[in-house]
Amino acid sequence: MKALLRSLACICALFFLGSTHFVSAQSYPDKSIRLMVGYAPGGLTDGVARTLSPQLSEILSKQVVVENRGGGGSSIATDVVAKAQPDGYTLLMADQALISNPSLFPALPYDTFKDLQPVALVGTAASVIVVNSSVPVRDLKALIALAKSKPGTLNYASGGNGTMTHLAGELFKQVARVDIVHIPYKGTGPAVVDLLGGQVPMMFSSIGPVAQYIKSGQLIALAVTGENRSPALPNVPTLSELGLAQATVIGYWGVMAPAGMSNEITEKLAKAINEAVKRPDMNQRLVNLGIDPSFASGPRYEKILSTEIPKWSQVIKNANIRID
């Protein structure tokens, strides 16, 4: 009899837990949601988050608040999300750092695949190879020839060690077999300022920060690193068109959650993100930031990460890049 009562108690407990989980998913969200950004306000990833958050707030009928937690190449904010309850109330606006950090920081306090789960991809972006207008080249072939004629003397700027503007340059060096010298800056803004001033001749930049200077003729765009031409720079060829497909670089921006979040909440969030990305006003704002709106489900986003993380791990290893 006691055994029967214990069995019934277990069944009731399991039923209660399942019912609670169902109700929780059905009522989600019932309070505000944090969207963590691993950088100070004002950067590109922060811009994507602040473009997405008001749209999600409207769709979900609860406020989605952007919270900036800079440091550690975004690993501090990522760790906050990785250690949060998987209830859908703490999310991460992820960018390329999610892909490169496992190789740049071997002692990360979280495991990207075990402690986090993709919710949805929001957008992608190519980089553009630009030179100051004083540099005597007007196409990529001429730039490579110049670099090979003067090995170790042509410098390129980046937004800092381990950033995508740095890694894109290292991949280009490996594929084109040129010896160009990396000059790291504390952010893309200062790098672009010196590029415009001629203190550094070239840069691998996201399109948004340099588009106006390309249009004004102060900078010359030689190639975009995406698989397709950029709508923002339709006359600029891709690296693939120029015979350097292996140097293709695409940045990915998406929303991540703590591992273990329920399918119901994950799907509700993904559906809301998809709706937001399709909205013309958000679509245009992303384009203005240099982002190509590109929704993809969590499983598809996970496949992208599974491909990109090993790719960049090899680039980082080949270039012997270390972040102290």
DSSP state letters, 82-102: HTS-SSSSEEEEE-THHHHHH
Mean pLDDT of 268-291: 94
Q: How confident is the model at residue 1 (pLDDT cuts 50, 70, 90)?
A: low
Q: How confident is the model at residue 19 (pLDDT cuts 50, 70, 90)?
A: very low
Mean pLDDT of 155-170: 94
In the structure encoding, which two tokens stand for residue 296, read together? 């993809």
Q: Please tell me the distance from the alpha carbon of residue 162 to that of residue 185, in angstroms, as a whole number.
A: 11
CA 7, chain centre distance (Å): 49
pTM of the model: 0.87
pLDDT tens readout for residues 166-184: 999 999 999 999 999 999 9
Q: Please tell me the distance from the alpha carbon of residue 190 to that of residue 237, in angstroms, as a whole number.
A: 26
Ordered alpha helix ranges (H), the chain: 2-27, 44-60, 75-82, 97-104, 112-115, 140-149, 164-176, 188-197, 207-216, 263-278, 280-288, 298-319
pLDDT for res 22: 47
In the structure encoding, which two tokens stand for residue 202, read together? 């070239």
Task: State the SS3 of 199-240.
Answer: CCCEEEEEHHHHHHHHHHCCEEEEEECCCCCECCECCCCECC
At the second CATH level, the architecture of 32-324 is: 3-Layer(aba) Sandwich (3.40)
| 3-class state of residue 261 by DSSP | coil
Contact 238, 229 (CB under 8 A): yes
Q: Which one is predicted more confidently, 253 or 209?
A: 253
Q: What are phi and psi of 264, to 5 degrees?
A: -65, -45
pLDDT for res 20: 45
Mean pLDDT of 117-124: 97
289 pLDDT exceeds 60? yes
Place of tokens 């991460």: 92
pLDDT for res 10: 52
Closest CA to 136 of 212, 188, 198: 198
Q: Which one is predicted more confidently, 9 or 90?
A: 90
pLDDT for res 323: 82
Closest CA to 39 of 86, 79, 76, 1: 76
pLDDT for res 42: 87
Q: Which one is predicted more confidently, 113 or 16?
A: 113
